Structure 1
Amino acid sequence: MQGIILAAGMGKRLKNITKNKTKCMVEVNGMSLIERMLKILDRKDLSRIIIVTGYQEETLKEYIASLTIHTPIIFVENPIYDKTNNIYSLSLTATFLEEEDTLLLESDLIFDETVIDLILCDPRENLALVDRFESWMDGTCMLLDENDCIVDMVAKKNLHFVNADQYYKTVNIYKFSRHFSKYTYVPFLKAYAMAMGNNEYYESVIRLIAMLDTKELQARRLNGQRWYEIDDIQDLDIAESLFTDNTEEQYKKITARYGGFWRYPKLVDYCYLVNPYFPTEHMLEEIRANSDRLIMQYPSGARVIRLLAGKLFGISDKKIIVGNGAAELIREMMQETNGKIGFVTPTFEEYINCCKQEQRVIMDTRKMDFSYSGQDIQDYFEQKHIQMLVLINPDNPSGNYIDSREIYELIHWCKKKKICLILDESFSDFSDEAESCIADSYLELYDEFYVIKSISKSYGVPGCRLGILAGKNSEKLDQIQRKLPIWNINSYAEFFLQIIEKYKEDYRLSLDRLRKSREIFRKELEKIPYMKVYPSQANYVMCELSDGVKSRKLASFLLENNILIKVLNEKLNNQKEMIRLAVRTDEENMHLIELLEKFGGEYIE
């Protein structure tokens, strides 16, 4: 068995990164693609490795010569790499193909060694390595039958994304027997190049062969092995987070992205906090049905958006404004005072980060085991001379909840003290009480009482970036509105507000399901010996780890099993090992419980 690597391309989409080197010399976490690939192949007892060069040929050859590779390497030059495609590069290796069984790879791949082991250990002689099509993938796809025979190969320009779940993407790693290459593939390759020219792709030849009744070439499906194709700077960035030296480093790189986790399709997100039971499939169908118009048309301006938001919460549009996520409104609201601001910590840090250090007056609930009441807040800030008080209820990350009676009393206390009160109730819909202060019965109590709410969390639509700010003081709301762009809300977010009224009952039912799931989840977590589970009225639970369990070690273990959790050590800074777990569906939660039990069995004596 020999290896053939196609490495003649220019890698134009990587722009300046490949200005003076080939694409396969690009590094992922300190190691180039070609070095990683050659080191893996060097352990597979290949007779030789043929590398087709072109762009920056001498640079690549010198670089490879500097590596410690024991397998003999033969270079084949494609002198017209800038005028041809990979069909020509592969045709230059025709003689080699006819001499031995071949493992064929493209040089812009990064993969785990198990990927190569999978195809080499398969007894079938002629295989195309494939994986389930995902949104990040680009290029030729296949349709397979139940016997792994290739039914069709679909060029990327002919892909129908409604059928995406039926497609398999070629990994661009193939295994050809000498007999297949000599009597089938090479003859077809030469004939196709002669008929269609050299600016084509060798996959086109595979497509022709796949249509033959002989069914000589079959597919080998991956089942979770990691690989990535590096075409542009985004691919490189994602590969950096996938292929790290250790899982702790991978955890840091993934969480530092602050979202965009659809790029990791197998990842189950227990870090970010959204309603797993809403929107319903029916609502998503309606959004999909209108997607063409929404993406091609401008959204309405602020007046219409405020009208829709007011209708949703049953208040006047004069009492509400809508932001591109709650974060946009938090920033504007926190700039309304230069005085001292009271915070109950630990909490959502966006508020604290929006004011100066000297403005912050902190009520630290770590000393109270993260449990506090409305009266505790009044007692603490009674003599602190604050001008503004920020309260998140339920709190994040503790899940501590102050009921509506205490909130009512806190509003009156702030009014008496002339303190501006900002209440963030982004998670309040998940509470058993489910009482919202975005109502005239609360807003009319005090001119300087404001409610901020992230629609993303309770309604399960973080991609829409919707947040609202409500209050009686319409003059201040108008003042903040004028600081925002006229089109700060996109068409998808507007459409969500437009149709949500039809799905209010579905939303209510989703909250009921979430509360039941939370209770089941908490009870199961409490059975785990090394966990202390804090009471929560939100869609997450905070846990303290004991028996020497380190939160980062646990997070790394779970990430190895495609689950992402929130490590709270730095946020809480209380010399304890703390994590936060979102509440997801019952099935997902039970899978997590099983992994937590497994971790306890493997890592705790």
Structure 2
Amino acid sequence: MIGVILAAGMGTRLMPLTKDIPKALLKINDVTLLERMIKNCINADISKFIVVVGYNKEKVIDLCPEIAEKYDIEIKTLVNEKYDVTNTSVSTYLASKFIEENDLDDFVLVNGDNVVDPKIISNLVASNNTGMIIDNFKELNEESFKLIIDDESFNDEKTIANGKIHSIGKGLDIPSSTGEFIGVSKVKRDDVAEFNRILEGLIEEDPQNYYDFAYKELSIITTIDFVMTNGLEWTEIDDHTDWENAHILVEKLEGNKN
């Protein structure tokens, strides 16, 4: 399995923290967000990585060999040259198309500005199908990237649901929503070609589209495991409030350990 980490964005809402570095290189307890996510993936037995870079790309490209040597893993960087006028659909497509063209493996896809409980990654990797991590505990708001699952059915442990995605996005009715997609997902090798076809359509429609929307059509074509957090904690880091929350979460998960 391959870990794909999206680290191309500019992080404008975190200025001046991101004036000279991308969000993925911000540090908590002297560990970058990028290295922390890679460590989480390593704990789930992932040893090959693709990091998609853009904003201040040289700083990420220079750091990746150090991380690779430190943990004895492989890291390839791909550049989204149009990072400032595109969105995550383009960055994801660069990695996913590379994986398809080289007939590689299943891949886990994570946003480079996430801090998560390591068990979240492990639970996703252990699922049988293409999958998405859904927070079914956190109180939803207008900014939550919500989804509604039709004909939802859970496994016996109430940890994985299956069904088709009826709707996905921020503007959904909160009481009707199943939960929030947290920006952590997995695409099985057999689904990569279809995933890429859908991404191509999204990019043609609008290069500012999020890759997240691809899972709606993909859920009609293949089985998607909606892996619930069931209280496991995470945070994305979009603004300074999120940055403060990320410090609190890291302290809770790691204490004073790096």
Work out whether the TM-score is over 0.5.
yes
**2-structure distance, mates of 1:230, 1:198:** 22
1:82-93 residue pairs with structure 2 within 5 A?
A: 82-93=84-95
Alignment partner of 1:233 out of 240, 245, 248: 240
Counterpart residue type for residue 8 of structure 1: A
Alignment partner of 1:140 out of 128, 138, 145: 145
- SS at structure 1 position matched to 2:195: helix
Larger CA Rg, structure 1 vs 2 = 1
- Report the Cα offset of residue 137 of structure 1: 8.0
1:270-285 residue pairs with structure 2 within 5 A?
A: none
- Report the Cα offset of residue 13 of structure 1: 0.7
**2-structure distance, mates of 1:246, 1:89:** 29
Point out 4+ residue stretches in structure 1 off by more than 6 angstroms. 245-249
Partner of 2:73: 71
- Report the Cα offset of residue 248 of structure 1: 7.7
Alignment partner of 1:168 out of 173, 179, 198: 179
1:206 aligns with 2:220: no
1:151 aligns with 2:174: no
**2-structure distance, mates of 1:231, 1:47:** 28
8 A Cα contact 1:140 1:153, kept in partner: no
Alignment partner of 1:94 out of 84, 93, 96: 96
Counterpart residue type for residue 74 of structure 1: K
Deviation readout 1:409-457 (Å, 9 max, x if unpaired): xxxxxxxxxxxxxxxxxxxxxxxxxxxxxxxxxxxxxxxxxxxxxxxxx
Partner of 2:198: 188
Partner of 1:27: 27
8 A Cα contact 2:6 2:53, kept in partner: yes
Partner of 2:11: 11
**1-structure distance, mates of 2:78, 2:56:** 13
**1-structure distance, mates of 2:93, 2:253:** 40
8 A Cα contact 2:134 2:227, kept in partner: yes
- Report the Cα offset of residue 65 of structure 1: 3.0
- Report the Cα offset of residue 11 of structure 1: 0.6
8 A Cα contact 2:191 2:222, kept in partner: no
Deviation readout 1:329-363 (Å, 9 max, x if unpaired): xxxxxxxxxxxxxxxxxxxxxxxxxxxxxxxxxxx
- Report the Cα offset of residue 246 of structure 1: 7.2
Deviation readout 1:374-419 (Å, 9 max, x if unpaired): xxxxxxxxxxxxxxxxxxxxxxxxxxxxxxxxxxxxxxxxxxxxxx
8 A Cα contact 1:150 1:218, kept in partner: no
Counterpart residue type for residue 101 of structure 1: D
1:125 aligns with 2:139: no
Structure with bigger strand share is: 2
Deviation readout 1:66-102 (Å, 9 max, x if unpaired): 3323210000001110011111111112333322111
Describe the shift of the 1:6–1:248 C-alpha distance in structure 2 as closer, same or farther (beyond 3 A).
closer
8 A Cα contact 1:4 1:50, kept in partner: yes
Counterpart residue type for residue 203 of structure 1: D
Describe the shift of the 1:247–1:50 C-alpha distance in structure 2 as closer, same or farther (beyond 3 A).
closer
Counterpart residue type for residue 61 of structure 1: I
Partner of 2:158: none
Counterpart residue type for residue 168 of structure 1: G
8 A Cα contact 1:137 1:169, kept in partner: no
- Structure 1 stretches lacking a partner, 5+ long: 250-605
Counterpart residue type for residue 176 of structure 1: V
RMSD of equivalent CA atoms: 2.2
Counterpart residue type for residue 109 of structure 1: N
8 A Cα contact 1:38 1:69, kept in partner: no
8 A Cα contact 2:89 2:207, kept in partner: yes
Describe the shift of the 1:247–1:81 C-alpha distance in structure 2 as closer, same or farther (beyond 3 A).
closer
8 A Cα contact 2:146 2:180, kept in partner: yes
- Report the Cα offset of residue 245 of structure 1: 6.4
TM-score after normalising by structure 1? 0.38
- Report the Cα offset of residue 135 of structure 1: 4.2
8 A Cα contact 1:42 1:70, kept in partner: no
8 A Cα contact 2:168 2:213, kept in partner: no
Describe the shift of the 1:135–1:168 C-alpha distance in structure 2 as closer, same or farther (beyond 3 A).
closer
- Report the Cα offset of residue 120 of structure 1: 1.2
Partner of 1:218: 225
8 A Cα contact 2:145 2:182, kept in partner: no
- Report the Cα offset of residue 121 of structure 1: 1.5
**2-structure distance, mates of 1:176, 1:242:** 27
Partner of 1:278: none
Partner of 1:115: 120
Percent identity (aligned) = 25
**1-structure distance, mates of 2:88, 2:248:** 29
Counterpart residue type for residue 87 of structure 2: N
**2-structure distance, mates of 1:25, 1:201:** 22
Counterpart residue type for residue 41 of structure 2: L
- Report the Cα offset of residue 170 of structure 1: 0.6
Partner of 2:190: 179
- Report the Cα offset of residue 168 of structure 1: 0.9
- Report the Cα offset of residue 205 of structure 1: 1.6
8 A Cα contact 1:126 1:217, kept in partner: yes
**2-structure distance, mates of 1:92, 1:248:** 36
**1-structure distance, mates of 2:197, 2:87:** 18
Query: What is the number of residues matched between the two proteins?
Result: 241
TM-score after normalising by structure 2? 0.85
Describe the shift of the 1:95–1:215 C-alpha distance in structure 2 as closer, same or farther (beyond 3 A).
closer
**2-structure distance, mates of 1:46, 1:191:** 30
Describe the shift of the 1:180–1:215 C-alpha distance in structure 2 as closer, same or farther (beyond 3 A).
closer
**2-structure distance, mates of 1:128, 1:111:** 14
Partner of 2:157: none
Describe the shift of the 1:150–1:62 C-alpha distance in structure 2 as closer, same or farther (beyond 3 A).
same
- Structure 2 stretches lacking a partner, 5+ long: 155-160
